[in-house]
Amino acid sequence: MSPPATTSLEAPPPTAPDDPAAPAGATALTPTIRATLRRRRIWIVFAALVALGVLAINLIGGTARGGGPLLGSDNAAPGGAKALVEVLRGHGVDVTPVDSYDLALDAAKSGSTVLVYDELGVLTADRYSKLGLYADRLVVVAPDFVALEALAPGVRLAGFASGPLDDVACDVPAARRAGSLSDGQGLLRVDDDAAADGWRGCFRDEGDAFAVVTGEGRGGEITLVPATTSFENGRITEHGNAALAIGLTGASERLAWYLPGPTDAAAGEAPTIAELTPGWVSPVLALAVILTIAAGVWRGRRFGPLVAENLPVQVPAGETSEGRARLYARNTARLHALDQLRIGSIGRLAQALRLPRAVDVASLAEAVAASTGRDPVAVRQLLVDAQPVGDADLVRLAGELGDLEADVRARLAPETGPGRRP
């Protein structure tokens, strides 16, 4: 780019602001920020109202039924367990929500009943064993494979019950009081070794599986309830769900309601990336992100609006001919194509031989044969009669037509051409 020339002009004579000779400023096409705000006022108000509405709905709905975790002790949604917790508190049970393993372990050591519901499966076998060792009474809701292996080897997951269960089949007081359970229960199967270890099931279904399994662990009593149904706000009133849930959790004065939290999830043994890298790496990465945004704004900011231009319509002229050629090719119109070429050749040959435009082909063929010394029959064959039997034949005939024309021209040209001049 060659920098455009700029030259300085002498300053115009100083003018008073109200001097009529003062140049009028150019009209700005870009609206000012204030004008933009004024023009978009309705939309801005509308957006603000929508934002307020969403906020209000969230606030109200959040207290009413909010999302919250499944079986959350203060979650009033159908999947929460606030109903059970409030009832327990109403009966004088000291319910403590716990979200870290250490607190849960402390509670277990101090003699609380511990309810564990590990929705995301973050607890390790080691931790389950430890809980089972220290807790006097441990209720594991929806135990996963790890939990079963650690606490009750020999008890296996066995799918889901197909309907309500009313075969109590054991003498656990809570189960006796409940009498029956609603549908939606998970099932566990107790094998012979486990049965020998003292594990027994309650609420048998048609198979040999149970909706509640209790037994003596190494530390205290352990109850396994494979489904959350009996504890959920939405289902606790069905059948004997409430009696079972209250009976299992309200047996002692204190209850630790343990849902593993974020601190338990990241409790891996390996050090995190943040611990391995120097302190400045994360801020520099953040700076890089900011830098990218700034550079994007720098390069992406348009220098004024795009300039529109009306362009004239222009059509490539060869399209018609190309299209016609493709049409011939698709229909393999060999004879038709060859005839077109012949018509052209005949016209040019007649012109070269100074014959009238409307000469008949037979006499033209004779004239051509006479001037080139070719066989008249062969020439006539080429110019009229031959039919192309295949693609190769068509190409050959077209080539021969071209050769014939060149031949005639060569025969006629030498009389004036420089080569034969004496």
Stretch that binds other proteins, among 154-162, 205-213, 283-291, 410-418 (CB under 8 A): 283-291
H-helix or E-strand containing 186? strand 186-190
Q: Applying CB under 8 A, does 284 fall inside the site for other proteins? A: yes
Closest among 89, 145, 76, 85 to 115, alpha carbons compared: 85
Near other proteins by CB under 8 A: residue from 105, 227, 394, 408: 394
Long-range Cβ pairs for the range 380-386 (8 Å, 24+): 383/342, 383/345, 383/346, 384/342
Q: Does 358 bind other proteins (CB under 8 A)?
A: no
Q: What residues numbered 212-251 form the site for other proteins, per CB under 8 A?
A: none
Residue 32: CB partners within 8 Å, gap ≥ 6? Answer: none
The Cα 372–Cα 350 span in angstroms is: 14
Q: Provide the token pair at 145.
A: 């494979």
3-state DSSP call for residue 115?
strand
Q: Rule CB under 8 A: say whether 418 interacts with other proteins.
A: no
Output Rg (C-alpha) for the chain, integer angstroms: 48
The answer to whether 278 contacts other proteins (rule: CB under 8 A) is yes
Residue 308 in 3-state DSSP?
coil
Distance CA 151, CA 383 (A): 101
For 186, the token pair is 């998970």
Check binding of 387 to other proteins (CB under 8 A). no
Determine, following the binding rule CB under 8 A, whether residue 7 of this chain makes contact with other proteins: yes
> Contact between 346 and other proteins (CB under 8 A)?
no
Region of 374 please: left (phi>0), alpha (psi -120 to 50) or beta.
beta
CB of 239 vs other proteins, minimal distance in Å: 55
Of residues 1 and 64, the one with the C-beta less far from other proteins: 1
Which residues does 368 contact at the CB level (< 8 Å), separation at least 6?
Answer: 349, 353, 374, 379, 383, 404, 408
Q: Judged by CB under 8 A, does residue 398 bind other proteins?
A: yes
Q: Which one of 40, 218, 324, 409 is in contact with other proteins (CB under 8 A)?
A: 324
**Residue 317 in the binding site for other proteins (CB under 8 A):** yes
Q: Considering the rule CB under 8 A, would residue 9 count as an interface residue with other proteins?
A: yes
Stretch that binds other proteins, among 212-220, 226-234, 359-367, 391-399 (CB under 8 A): 391-399
Q: How far is the CB of 265 from other proteins (least distance, A)?
A: 22
Q: Is 329 in the site for other proteins (CB under 8 A)?
A: yes
Q: Are 74 and 83 in contact (CB under 8 A)?
A: no
Binding mask 158-197 for other proteins (x = CB under 8 A): ----------------------------------------
Applying CB under 8 A, which part among 19-27, 259-267, 376-384, 408-416 lies near other proteins?
19-27
Q: Which stretch binds other proteins (CB under 8 A): 103-111, 139-147, 151-159, 323-331?
A: 323-331
Q: How far apart are CA 70 and CA 76, in angstroms?
A: 10
Segment interacting with other proteins (CB under 8 A) among 29-37, 62-70, 127-135, 204-212:
29-37
